[in-house]
Amino acid sequence: MALLSKKDASLISDPLADNNPITIQVLGICSALAITAELKASVVMAISVMFVLGVGNVVISLMRNVIPSKIRIIVQLIVVATLVIIVDQVLKAFAYELSKTLSVFVGLIITNCIIMGRFEAFALGNGPWRSFLDGIGNSLGYGIILVIVGFFRELLGSGTLFGYPVLGDPIEKTGLYALGYENNGFMIIPPAALIVVGIIIWVQRSRNRALIEEA
């Protein structure tokens, strides 16, 4: 017996590729640009969003029959705000340096379009288990792009991965730096993230032409 039925498995696999929230739906771009200069921050952000979206989807799904539709946005906001405050406090307590790097962008998870989008489009109409899978799938799709962008930006911009120097020491001039290599300052600034995301979108759509939108 498979762990997940085929239909349920697609809830996780679809957002990873052909229905990716960032590259296909172009949601949640703001945080993808802001915090991807370091891989560590990307990973923590991805995990935070996974927690908020996974738990939030379940909560909304459980309450879907009792929320009056006129005030559903407010209810959703309260749920997501509660979860984000939990994440924020946990980060401040256990990873203070990192929470300073992420600064306001943890709080801004509240306004991340992916979260409200999944609440509205999925959790309000489906059961808790499927909503949970959908939340995990979408946050994985979001996270994978964050990690890819963070990987290239940190490697090319700072010459490190997770803070470990992988290309040599720029001050001592070892490794690649001995050959005259220099870090690319452009990759540190947010516009570079826009270009990296753009290249991912470009590569993905030229591999699968069905994804190209009608002009």
Partner 1 sequence: MGLKEKMHELKLKYQGKKMAPAFNAFHTFLYAPNETTHSGGHIRAVDDLKRTMNTVILALVPCLIFGIFNAGYQHYSAINGFPAEFSLFEHFINWDNFILGVTTILPLVIVSYGVGLIVEFIFAVIKGHEVEEGYLVTGMLVPLIVPVDTPLWMLAVAVIFGVVIGKEVFGGTGMNILNPALTIRAFLFFAYPTWMSGDKVWVHGAKAGVTQAGSTDAISGETVLGYLAQGNTEGMYAKYDLSEMFFGFIPGSVGETSTFLILLGGLFLIFTKIASWRIMLSAVLGSLAMGLIFNGVVEFGWIPEYSKFYGLMSFDFWQHLIVGGLAFGIVYMATDPVTGSQTNKGKWIYGFLIGFISVMIRVFNPGYPEGVFLAILLMNVFAPTIDHYVVQGNVKKRLKRMKNATILPNVGEEAEQLKAETV
Binding characters for partner 1, 165-184, by CB under 8 A (x = yes) = ---------------xxx-x
| 5/208 with CB nearer partner 1 | 208
Helix (H, G, I), strand (E, B) or coil at 127: coil
Is 204 a binding residue for partner 1 by CB under 8 A? The answer is: no
Q: Residues 166, 202, 203, 208: which binds partner 1 (CB under 8 A)?
A: 202
d(C-alpha 36, C-alpha 45), whole Å: 9
Is 68 a binding residue for partner 1 by CB under 8 A? The answer is: no
Find out whether 175 and 182 touch, Cβ atoms under 8 Å: no
| 95/201 with CB nearer partner 1 | 201
| 29/176 with CB nearer partner 1 | 176
For the bound state, the minimum distance from the C-beta of residue 179 to partner 1, rounded and expressed in Å, comes to 9
For the bound state, the minimum distance from the C-beta of residue 177 to partner 1, rounded and expressed in Å, comes to 13
* Angle (CA) 133 135 140, round 5°: 95
Collect all residues with Cβ–Cβ distance below 8 Å to 25 and sequence separation of at least 6. Answer: 19, 114, 117
| 103/206 with CB nearer partner 1 | 206
CA of residue 118 relative to chain centroid, distance:
14
Query: Of 148, 97, 129, 118, which is closest to residue 49 (Cα–Cα)?
Result: 118
d(C-alpha 107, C-alpha 87), whole Å: 9
| 122/152 with CB nearer partner 1 | 152
List residues near partner 1 by CB under 8 A. 180-182, 184-187, 189, 195, 198, 202
